[in-house]
Structure 1
Amino acid sequence: MTDPTGALAAAYPELIQCLADADEYAATDVALGLLAAGVPAESVLLELIAPAQAQVGRWWQANEWSVAQEHAATHISERVVAAVSSYASPRPNRGRVVVACMDGEWHALPARLVAEVLRLRGWNVTFLGASVPAAHLVSYLHRNDAQAVALGCAVPMRLPQAHAMIEACRRADVPILVGGRGFGADGRWAERLGVTWAPDAVTAAELVGNEELLDRPPSGPPPQLADDEYAGLVRRRGELIDSALGALRQASPAVRDYTPDQLDRTIEDLGYIVDFLAAAVYVDDPTLFEEFLDWLLEVLGSRGVPAAPVQATLAHFAGELRDFPRARRFLGADRDLRVPAPAVTG
């Protein structure tokens, strides 16, 4: 896809401003104006709405936008996607494809964009939305004849749930395609789980009709599933969070004076550390946890939080997990963590 007239490039700052102003109607007018001028719907979806939403995410990560602003912008983007789809009004001439997000995955817009691109290319698409439980997905597949199922995962800590859904779809004998950065920027964890990965919506649309590729047999479960480190981390999740919070309170008087909101955020961050560690153990790849730490430190740095509490937490978890050799190794509690300088993204 290209933008020979520069219409998409010219419309991008307009759409960004509409998202910043939470102006749904103006945002919709920007997209529909492009369609009326002859810009293909797929280009509007992938070269305008998708990059604008990615910028929204960067602003939230840099603490330039609040959670409320990000949610408002995401809702507007979803409404604009719906308007583009309605305007294009494609009619299916190919088989049914079911698109859904992994159980626990609430970032639904990327999967929605894939669904709409498939629809524009003639597929009869059923989009099930965010966080679909595996049992409900399989039940739907049994009642509705699908040529393929496309599953989205944006966050790597959901990989264990993703694996369960992939295996459930295999048992339902439906070809599977997965996408999203939750499988790694290069799809490495999709390969680890023995499933075909699409890096973007265009590739997904090209792959979904390739039954021979999607039906490839899995290479077998990762060898680490033969031990109980992952299951043990899941069982001890609450205990680990409670003990780490207690250690932080003891080490820092400031933590003892946290407001309820600050306390909730701290507990949430501790939970993320445990969940990402467990996912890294599940796929037996320390880079998953290392990439999460880089992201966490960037987010905390943009909010003025130092690295010391994170480093202390890693050391605490390492001390608590003496019987978890891979988890202790992945924690790397002796690493020198540094909060990066806030990036200027506006």
Structure 2
Amino acid sequence: MTPHPVRRPEAMDLGPARELLWSAVHQGDEHGAAAVVLDALESSGEAETVLLDLIAPVQAKVGTEWAANRLTVAQEHTATAIHERVIAVLAHRPESRGESPGGPRVTVACVDGEWHALPARLLAEVLRLRGWRVDFLGAHVPTPHLIAHLHRTGPRAVALSSSIPTHLPTAHMAVTACQAAGVPVIAGGAAFGPDGRYARALGADGWAPDARGAAAVLERGLDRPGPPAFQQTVEGLPHLADQEYTIVAATTHQLVKQTLADLEDRFEPMRRYTERQRRHTAEDLAHIVEYLATSLYVADEQLFTRFVLWTADILTARHVPARSLDPALDLLALQLKDFPRACRTLAHAREALAERTPLTKIPGPGKPA
């Protein structure tokens, strides 16, 4: 049996509804948010439109506002929790029921360590609306448990979600394990790159930039992988033979500790840091090393450079001197002088930082974006 055909609603202006929903989640008003979403559902008659053209854009704005330091972490978590609960309300409305008992089965899950489950939840609900039988496993699914579920349920495909690029090595293990179990994988989420380049590098059978695209790919069908495809995936990253990723990943704690100690001599303002500021600096350095390791894993210097420039913007928005990034990268390069790929990656990021004069700033409240 094939999934239900998708009705294409007429264009609908959801701009006012987005403003109302943003205001509600910004204020932590769950009942107000639910009222906005249900009103939009009544007006459009299309739950998929409400999910993807109303809730999803507002959730994206939540992330943007946090990055610009206009939302606290607590506010960001509150807004996300409200969206999750509103999606649950929406999913149980009679207008939103589309799952067919005889429909094809699909598993939707986040990779191990990935706690950003809302994108996967949106996909799960869209697939249900289109007639799929969906097993939504949620956030942070350890690969052995995922594979056990596949053996028990025999789905047509796995939709694997990840938002954070540092989970790509773990995603690779999940992809190959699913394929070894005979189940094809479609990958999605920001971690896999805007054009899906990392999904392809890790051997995924499909990729899509959003839930509509993923549903379309699944409806067209993915070929079940065999042993040759699995072998190709394993051999698809020959650069890992140089052991740079393995060693950098294994020595993250040591690299962070040494860089933190040396940075105090190189960056004079650090000598006046409070204990809290030093702790945050150590956390930032740990993220830098993790992203460096991930860049080595997928052999893409741009992944690391994008993260460093994003970090510079985050620091600037929080009135922290982003110029401290350059000496930190230099100190890491000194420790990794015998690792040519790591040194090239660090040098590329330093060059990109130097080209920002001054560093790009995220607009403050009331300023044009």
Q: Same fold (TM over 0.5)?
A: yes
Corresponding position: 1:40 with 2:52: no
Rate the CA distance shift 1:270–1:214 in 2: closer, same or farther, 3 A.
farther
Displacement of 1:138 in angstroms is 0.9
Kept in 1, the 8 Å contact 2:182–2:224? The answer is: no
Q: Name 2:311's counterpart in structure 1.
A: 296
Q: Name 2:146's counterpart in structure 1.
A: 137
Kept in 2, the 8 Å contact 1:3–1:9? The answer is: no
Corresponding position: 1:89 with 2:97: yes
68-77 or 84-93: bigger deviation: 84-93
> Partner of 2:31: helix, strand, or coil?
helix
Alignment of 1:210-249 (within 5 A): 210-213=220-223, 215=225, 217=229, 218=232, 220-249=235-264
> Partner of 2:99: helix, strand, or coil?
coil
Displacement of 1:293 in angstroms is 1.1
> Partner of 1:4: helix, strand, or coil?
coil
Deviation readout 1:289-313 (Å, 9 max, x if unpaired) = 1111111111111111222211011
Kept in 2, the 8 Å contact 1:198–1:204? The answer is: yes
> Partner of 2:92: helix, strand, or coil?
helix
Deviation readout 1:79-114 (Å, 9 max, x if unpaired) = 111111111133324121111111111111111111
CA distance in 1, matches of 2:294, 2:152: 32
Displacement of 1:209 in angstroms is 3.5
Rate the CA distance shift 1:252–1:201 in 2: closer, same or farther, 3 A.
same
Q: Name 1:198's counterpart in structure 2.
A: 208
> Partner of 2:131: helix, strand, or coil?
coil
Corresponding position: 1:52 with 2:70: no
Corresponding position: 1:64 with 2:70: yes
CA distance in 2, matches of 1:134, 1:154: 17
Q: Name 1:342's counterpart in structure 2.
A: 362
Kept in 1, the 8 Å contact 2:40–2:50? The answer is: yes
92-101 or 52-61: bigger deviation: 92-101
Displacement of 1:122 in angstroms is 0.5
Displacement of 1:342 in angstroms is 2.6
Displacement of 1:264 in angstroms is 2.5
> Partner of 2:109: helix, strand, or coil?
strand
Kept in 1, the 8 Å contact 2:157–2:222? The answer is: no
Displacement of 1:194 in angstroms is 1.9
Displacement of 1:340 in angstroms is 1.4
Kept in 2, the 8 Å contact 1:280–1:289? The answer is: yes
Identify which of 9, 13, 16 aligns with 2:19.
13
Deviation readout 1:2-21 (Å, 9 max, x if unpaired) = 66342x22211110100111
243-252 or 209-218: bigger deviation: 209-218
CA distance in 2, matches of 1:230, 1:210: 36
Displacement of 1:171 in angstroms is 1.5
> Partner of 2:338: helix, strand, or coil?
coil
Rate the CA distance shift 1:259–1:334 in 2: closer, same or farther, 3 A.
closer
> Partner of 1:208: helix, strand, or coil?
helix
Corresponding position: 1:117 with 2:126: yes
Q: Name 1:176's counterpart in structure 2.
A: 185
**Aligned residue identity for 1:126:** D
68-77 or 241-250: bigger deviation: 241-250
77-86 or 329-338: bigger deviation: 329-338
Number of aligned positions between the proteins: 345
**Aligned residue identity for 1:235:** A
Q: Name 1:265's counterpart in structure 2.
A: 280
CA distance in 2, matches of 1:214, 1:155: 27
CA distance in 1, matches of 2:30, 2:222: 42
Kept in 2, the 8 Å contact 1:62–1:302? The answer is: yes
CA distance in 2, matches of 1:175, 1:12: 36
**Aligned residue identity for 2:172:** H
CA distance in 1, matches of 2:276, 2:136: 35
Q: Name 2:11's counterpart in structure 1.
A: 4
Alignment of 1:323-342 (within 5 A): 323-332=338-347, 335=351, 336-337=353-354, 338=356, 339-342=359-362
> Partner of 2:321: helix, strand, or coil?
coil
**Aligned residue identity for 1:269:** D
Deviation readout 1:92-148 (Å, 9 max, x if unpaired) = 241211111111111111111111111110111111111111111111112222111
Corresponding position: 1:187 with 2:196: yes
> Partner of 2:362: helix, strand, or coil?
coil
CA distance in 1, matches of 2:236, 2:144: 20
Identity rate of aligned residues, in percent? 44
Displacement of 1:212 in angstroms is 4.2
Kept in 2, the 8 Å contact 1:175–1:211? The answer is: no
